[in-house]
Amino acid sequence: MKHLKLASASAISIAAASFANTAQAEDLTLCWAAWDPANALVELSKEFESQSGHSMSFEFIPWPNFADRMLNELNSGGKLCDLLIGDSQWIGGGAENGHYVKLNDFFDAEGISMSDFADATVYAYSTWPKGTPNYYALPAMGDANGWFYRKDWFGREDIQAAYKEATGQELREPQSQKEMLQIAQFFQGREIDGQTVYGAAIFTERGSEGITMGVTSALYPWGFKYENTPGSYDMDGAVNSPEAVEALEFYKEFYETATPPGYTNSYMGESLDAFKSGQVAMAMNWFAFFPGLYADPNTGGDKIDFFVNPPQNNAGSTLGGQGISVVAYSDKQDAALEYIKWFANPDVQAKWWELGGYSAHNSVLNDPGFKDSAPFAGDFLEAMGSVQDFWQEPAYAELLLAMQKRLHDYIVADQGTAQEALDKLVEDWTEVFEDEGKL
């Protein structure tokens, strides 16, 4: 058996070594969400095209439809994508349903080591079952939910004085969730330069994953856990713990007292719009957008600054980001693997960060100059040190939709209490896991 494994590994490595010379030129299609980093990837991939002789096509889907479109594609065994940068939560389904190619042998043959990538990203984006050395993706884009604010407003003496008078404290980057709410409430409805502004833009979207991603940014700092014992699916007492209830009530208060009017169905785009149009003092969004925000001629540069999701009982940020996988239904798997090999190269990873992508490669993250390479780089590192992700189970879509419903019903539609919302969520999730045969 050992010999067989050795022989197959050798065969793969020989085949892989001869990719560049013998493989015929292919047109590879890479699928991802339509957002700023995708444009950076197009730029980066030109180098791959010139080196390999393959050409690259891209299929970028707007975020609200991304999961729907791509999961339908995978479920139907579609051949549209040869490479897919899929959301971290898809890894369970991707692995168990046979959508993604398992990459262990390829990594071994090519000398690609997962220890070269940040642990949190390998755990979240690549492994299934969680934490085991079974890899279905290479960490492609590290990401977390963070915050940005109007540095120019925070720096104004009149506003600082008004804040001090109102709260007795200094106006600064918030150090806790509650301080952040206090600052947002201070700005809510305030007149600045003749315009009424509001506290903060947070996620409240109902249709895809928005409100869940927003609320977990409050739940995690309060110490939220999905299970009492990891892997047990024992959720009662964890998901609906007193801390979780307090965090949920906090988010509802945030929504009701510190967001712009009509902010009932908002996600990434609305958050960016609210900030860029000068409506809000602070906004939450994914780090992936921060390079574009910093470069914005109206609200970027010295008018903006960034901070990591503030702690409360502990540090905690909602994980975003994705790994890159080879789609099992692709006829061009060899060329797709070639792309992954090229992408894992430290030089390519350095260029990826330079262009606006968030590399998860240790050679980039541990570089002494990394923290100062962008105004949000230090915050990104800090965030990635305390990230937590949603369920990554094959039934993740059901789990997510249940949470979307319970949260939106409570926060936006003002139905029931936080305790009831979380109790119902435990019931929903229990039913899903019972159907899955895991309970």
Binding residues vs another protein (CB under 8 A): 68, 71-72, 75, 93, 97-98, 205-207, 260-265, 394, 397-398, 401, 405, 408-410, 412-415, 435
Smallest separation (angstroms) from another protein to the CB of 58: 25
Smallest separation (angstroms) from another protein to the CB of 207: 4
- DSSP lists the bridge partners of residue 197 as 190
Considering beta carbons, is residue 195 or 314 the nearer one to another protein?
195
Smallest separation (angstroms) from another protein to the CB of 216: 18
- Dist CA 62 CA 68 (whole Å): 10
Smallest separation (angstroms) from another protein to the CB of 256: 11
Cβ neighbours of residue 289 under 8 Å, at least 6 residues apart?
35, 36, 268, 272
Residue pair 243/250 in contact by the 8 Å Cβ criterion: no
Considering beta carbons, is residue 154 or 267 the nearer one to another protein?
267
Smallest separation (angstroms) from another protein to the CB of 412: 4
Considering beta carbons, is residue 194 or 369 the nearer one to another protein?
194
Considering beta carbons, is residue 8 or 277 the nearer one to another protein?
277
From 134, 142, 125, select the one nearest 96 (Cα to Cα). 134
Smallest separation (angstroms) from another protein to the CB of 307: 27
Considering beta carbons, is residue 49 or 409 the nearer one to another protein?
409
Considering beta carbons, is residue 148 or 263 the nearer one to another protein?
263
Strands 55-61 and 145-150: unpaired
CB count within 10 Å of CB 296 equals 14
- Dist CA 135 CA 129 (whole Å): 9
Smallest separation (angstroms) from another protein to the CB of 79: 16
From 201, 225, 202, select the one nearest 214 (Cα to Cα). 202
Hunting for tokens 């149009």 — which residue is that? 277
Residue pair 406/239 in contact by the 8 Å Cβ criterion: no
Considering beta carbons, is residue 274 or 348 the nearer one to another protein?
274
User: DSSP string of 183-234?
Assistant: HHHHHTTEEETTEEEEEEE-----SSSHHHHHHHHHHGGGT--S-SSTTS--
Smallest separation (angstroms) from another protein to the CB of 191: 14
Helix (H, G, I), strand (E, B) or coil at 32: strand
Smallest separation (angstroms) from another protein to the CB of 98: 7
Helix (H, G, I), strand (E, B) or coil at 382: helix
Considering beta carbons, is residue 75 or 176 the nearer one to another protein?
75
Considering beta carbons, is residue 97 or 363 the nearer one to another protein?
97
User: DSSP string of 86-102?
Assistant: EEGGGHHHHHHTT-B--
Structure tokens at 16: 């892989």
Smallest separation (angstroms) from another protein to the CB of 84: 15
- DSSP lists the bridge partners of residue 145 as 286
With b for 16 or more beta-carbon neighbours within 10 A and e for fewer, the 235-244 pattern comes to beebbbbebb
Which element (helix H / strand E) includes 286? strand 280-286
CB count within 10 Å of CB 9 equals 15
Considering beta carbons, is residue 62 or 230 the nearer one to another protein?
62
